[in-house]
């Protein structure tokens, strides 16, 4: 069986989570997120962002989080702005539009948005009432290209959004990986301060399912639970989400797992770099996009699974390698070994 670098959700979950599920299994608990594990996990998250007036809600996955957040905040005629690589654009089967909202997309090099990207979009949407009204900016950290926001970049964008009455929403499906990147100077507390709403992804960082939506902006908190229920996202056994986030948040396990995933990717990246391999984008998280010759890709494919991301020319293609909280040293070492033998 080949080892897979295709994504960060191909294994189960961190053993601590299974242990906790076993331990608490027979306890009778209130349903629909009112169980004590959920309440404790929410408390831990509020402590971590140092914002006791924030509200935390757990849902199952990223698409679900995105569609609930966006549809609950926007009025029918308002739209969301996203980088063209944004997950909501092409990877969610039109989930956002299915709730009635247009996405305005912006082509960017690195998957990140800056105020200079957004200004022309606002300028082109002033034919009232014949055009949708931009009201929210959607960003991801780390992005779908593995890149991250610096503290300065997020501050700039946040200020711009506030000045322009735009809500700032950060998709954190890979928030752990983003914040623990060796070049990140951003903290979770800062994220909570600079955005109106964001989520902490569990699915891609060691949980079975689960994203924790955190609403810092109190205006957006009102009645949010109704939206979760209406979209079919309120689990009867909310304990499943509560227990997972309780374990992930304890002792910063969440960040340790992400740091591990990043480290494994960086090991491979560094070896490739030493050997002069180019990359599609310069990433410091658990996704890397080396440009390899087709021969090497074929050889690696005999032992490993990964996506061939983009054809560069007749000789080279970029591949995408993703490591996870569970990617062991064996797999990484074997991969590196093969490279060393070949380049």
Q: Write out the binding residues for a second copy, residues 194-253 only, by CB under 8 A.
A: 203-204, 208-209, 223, 225-237, 239-240
We find the least distance from the C-beta atom of residue 253 to a second copy, in angstroms, to be 16
175 binds a second copy (CB under 8 A): no
In this complex, which beta carbon is closest to a second copy, that of residue 149 or of residue 289? Answer: 289
> Token pair of 28, please?
């009778």
Q: Are strands 78-83 and 133-140 parallel, antiparallel or unpaired?
A: parallel
- Positions 104 through 133 that interact with a second copy (CB under 8 A): 124, 127-133
Q: Could you give the C-alpha distances from 262 to 184, 301, 314, 329, in angstroms and in order?
A: 12, 22, 31, 13
Nearest residue to 254 (alpha-carbon basis) of 191, 327, 143, 175: 175
CA 162 – CA 287 distance, rounded (Å): 31
Choose, by CB under 8 A, the member of 67, 148, 194, 319 that binds a second copy.
Answer: 67
We find the least distance from the C-beta atom of residue 182 to a second copy, in angstroms, to be 26
Q: Report which secondary-structure segment, H or E, holds 274.
A: helix 253-274
We find the least distance from the C-beta atom of residue 72 to a second copy, in angstroms, to be 7
In this complex, which beta carbon is closest to a second copy, that of residue 128 or of residue 302? Answer: 128
Q: Is the separation of the CB atoms in 154 and 191 below 8 Å?
A: yes
We find the least distance from the C-beta atom of residue 113 to a second copy, in angstroms, to be 19
The footprint of a second copy on this chain (CB under 8 A) covers a number of residues equal to 79
Q: Is the separation of the CB atoms in 133 and 125 below 8 Å?
A: yes
> Which of the stretches 63-71, 115-123, 137-145, 277-285 binds a second copy when contact is defined by CB under 8 A?
63-71
Cα within 13 Å of Cα(96), Cβ side: 27
In this complex, which beta carbon is closest to a second copy, that of residue 11 or of residue 333? Answer: 11
Q: Could you give the C-alpha distances from 191 to 62, 75, 77, 84, 148, in angstroms and in order?
A: 18, 25, 28, 22, 12
We find the least distance from the C-beta atom of residue 173 to a second copy, in angstroms, to be 9
């Amino acid at each position: 069986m080949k080892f897979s670098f295709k994504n960060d959700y191909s294994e189960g979950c961190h053993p601590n989570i299974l242990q906790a599920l076993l331990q608490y299994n027979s306890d009778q608990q209130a349903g629909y997120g009112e169980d004590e594990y959920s309440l404790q996990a929410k408390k831990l998250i509020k402590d971590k962002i140092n914002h006791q007036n924030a509200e935390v809600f757990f849902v199952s996955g990223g698409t679900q989080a995105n569609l609930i957040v966006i549809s609950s905040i926007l009025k029918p005629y308002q739209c969301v702005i996203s980088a063209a690589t944004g997950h909501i654009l092409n990877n969610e089967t039109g989930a956002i539009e299915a709730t009635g909202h247009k996405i305005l997309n912006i082509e960017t090099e690195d998957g990140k948005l800056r105020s200079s990207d957004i200004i022309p979009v606002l300028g082109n949407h002033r034919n009232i009432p014949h055009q949708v009204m931009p009201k929210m900016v959607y960003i991801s950290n780390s992005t779908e290209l593995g890149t991250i926001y610096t503290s300065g970049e997020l501050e700039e964008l946040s200020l711009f959004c506030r000045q322009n009455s735009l809500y700032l929403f950060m998709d954190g499906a890979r928030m752990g990986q983003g914040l623990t990147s060796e070049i990140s100077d951003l903290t979770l507390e800062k994220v909570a301060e600079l955005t109106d709403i964001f989520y902490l992804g569990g699915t891609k960082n060691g949980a079975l399912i689960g994203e924790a939506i955190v609403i810092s902006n109190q205006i957006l908190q009102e009645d949010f639970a109704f939206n979760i229920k209406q979209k079919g996202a309120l689990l009867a056994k909310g304990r499943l989400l509560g227990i997972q986030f309780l374990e992930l948040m304890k002792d910063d396990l969440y960040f340790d797992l992400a740091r591990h995933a990043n480290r494994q990717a960086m090991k491979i990246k560094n070896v490739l770099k030493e050997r002069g391999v180019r990359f599609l984008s310069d990433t410091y998280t658990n996704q890397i996009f080396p440009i390899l010759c087709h021969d090497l890709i074929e050889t690696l494919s005999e032992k490993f699974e990964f996506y061939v991301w983009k054809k560069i020319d007749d000789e080279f293609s970029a591949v995408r390698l993703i490591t996870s909280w569970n990617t062991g040293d064996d797999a990484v070492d074997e991969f590196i070994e093969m490279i060393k033998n070949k380049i």
